[in-house]
């Protein structure tokens, strides 16, 4: 028997960072994001040999342990250990024996929510294997708790919910971990046109998002007016972008993205740098009307809105800069799991 699961990565269209505490606790956050056809995969093969095997195929890391109720963290595949420890603590109350194998279509630090999506995929595989009583909100909340609380990794809440629910969603974040996911009903032709007009570009560099997020959190805790106001403005851009999509006003998206990017850069140090600024300027000069980093910033993926047929000229300009253009389509389905 093999249990498999897959969860989609996402691009953050607007409001990124307002899902991070303490801002979301104090002011409420709003995020507009969309899942895409890049995925995190998890496979569990139950065994009876008294061993636990963790195998990350994309990172080329592997660890083997004797079955135990708790595995200590050592900086290697700690996501796997954190999930296992929580599953045993909350549900099985006894050691398990199995081999867990994973793969992610995007590298860590890409800005597409890869780490959180992987956590969600692994939790989904355990749910399938052990028939855990978890609904969509439960899975997303548990994935968030494991990554942010148990493991102490800095970050927000949107990635776990985007991976679990899938589709294009307007998400609201409040204090005490209250989250509301609002799926948007958008015409199929509008989604196709949006995907056609968005160019997703990998800068060739990953980044440690936790450092940028920690700077952002410090700015909010210290009540730095510039950063707080920037986050208010970023949240407002997410609302404007949602309205543009629902009203089929796609060509306003580029302008909103451009304004949102200017505000996002004011949220914390490290969000942009000369390399990113150069990429952005090249895309705008080639015909894009706006764009933004997908994720906390500092590197990873950046996307641009290219109206009409300007995407071709934008792609040619970006390819000269040494990164890669990533083809993608939106996907409506979130976390999926099955047993073979």
- The residues pairing with 6 across neighbouring beta strands, listed in sequence order, are 41, 336
Lowest average pLDDT, out of 24-33, 271-280, 321-330, goes to: 271-280
Is the C-alpha dihedral spanning 328, 322, 288, 206 positive or negative? positive
Average pLDDT, the chain: 92
Please identify, in words, the CATH class of the domain defined by 188-325: alpha beta
Q: What is the pLDDT at residue 213? A: 73
- Provide the angle, in degrees to the nearest 10, between the axes of the packed helices 158-165 and 136-144: 150
Q: What is the pLDDT at residue 164? A: 98
- Inform me whether the pLDDT recorded for 219 exceeds 70: no
DSSP labels for 262-322?
HHHTTSSTTS--HHHHHHHHHHHHHT--EEEESSSSSSSEEEEE--TTTHHHHHHHHHTTT
- Inform me whether the pLDDT recorded for 59 exceeds 90: yes
Lowest average pLDDT, out of 24-28, 82-86, 202-206, 310-314, goes to: 202-206
Query: Rounded distance, CA 263 to CA 150, Å?
Result: 32
- Inform me whether the pLDDT recorded for 246 exceeds 70: yes
**Segments making up each domain of the chain, as ranges:** 3-185, 188-325
Predicted model pTM? 0.93
- Known catalytic residues are 159
> Hey, which bits of the chain come out as E strands?
3-14, 29-46, 51-56, 61-66, 98-104, 168-173, 179-183, 198-202, 290-293, 301-305, 324-325, 336-339
3-185 with 188-325: one CATH topology?
no
Residue with tokens 């890409």: 110
- Inform me whether the pLDDT recorded for 207 exceeds 60: no
Q: What is the pLDDT at residue 41? A: 98
- Inform me whether the pLDDT recorded for 189 exceeds 60: yes
Return the CATH architecture of domain 3-185. 2-Layer Sandwich (3.30)
């Amino acid at each position: 028997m093999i249990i498999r699961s897959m969860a989609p990565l996402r691009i953050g269209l607007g409001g990124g960072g307002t899902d991070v505490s303490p801002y979301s606790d104090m002011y409420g956050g709003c995020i507009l994001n969309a899942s895409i056809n890049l995925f995190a995969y998890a496979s569990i093969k139950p065994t009876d040999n008294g061993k636990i095997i963790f195998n990350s195929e994309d990172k080329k890391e592997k660890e083997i342990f004797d079955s135990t109720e708790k595995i200590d963290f050592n900086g290697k595949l700690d996501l796997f250990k954190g999930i296992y420890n929580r599953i045993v603590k909350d549900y099985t109350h006894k050691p398990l024996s199995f081999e867990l194998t994973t793969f992610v279509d995007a590298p860590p630090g890409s800005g597409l929510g890869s780490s959180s999506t992987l956590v969600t995929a692994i939790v989904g595989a355990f749910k399938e294997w052990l028939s855990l009583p978890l609904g969509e909100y439960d899975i997303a909340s548990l994935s968030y708790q494991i990554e942010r609380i148990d493991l102490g990794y800095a970050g927000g809440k949107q990635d776990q919910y985007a991976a679990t629910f899938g589709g294009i969603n307007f998400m609201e974040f409040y204090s005490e971990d209250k989250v509301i996911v609002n799926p948007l009903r958008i015409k199929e032709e509008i989604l196709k046109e949006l995907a056609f007009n968005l160019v997703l570009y990998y800068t060739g560099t990953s980044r440690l998002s936790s450092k940028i997020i920690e700077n952002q959190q410090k700015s909010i805790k210290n009540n730095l007016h510039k950063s707080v106001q920037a986050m208010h403005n970023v949240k407002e851009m997410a609302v404007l972008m949602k309205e543009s999509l629902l009203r089929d006003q796609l060509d306003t998206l580029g302008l909103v993205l451009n304004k949102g990017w200017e505000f996002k850069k004011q949220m914390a140090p490290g969000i942009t740098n000369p390399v990113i600024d150069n990429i952005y300027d090249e895309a705008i000069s080639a015909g894009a009307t706006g764009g933004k980093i997908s994720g906390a910033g500092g590197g990873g993926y950046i996307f641009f809105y290219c109206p009409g047929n300007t995407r071709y000229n934008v792609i040619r300009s970006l390819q000269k800069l040494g990164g890669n253009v990533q083809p993608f389509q939106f996907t409506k389905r979130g976390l999926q799991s099955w047993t073979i």
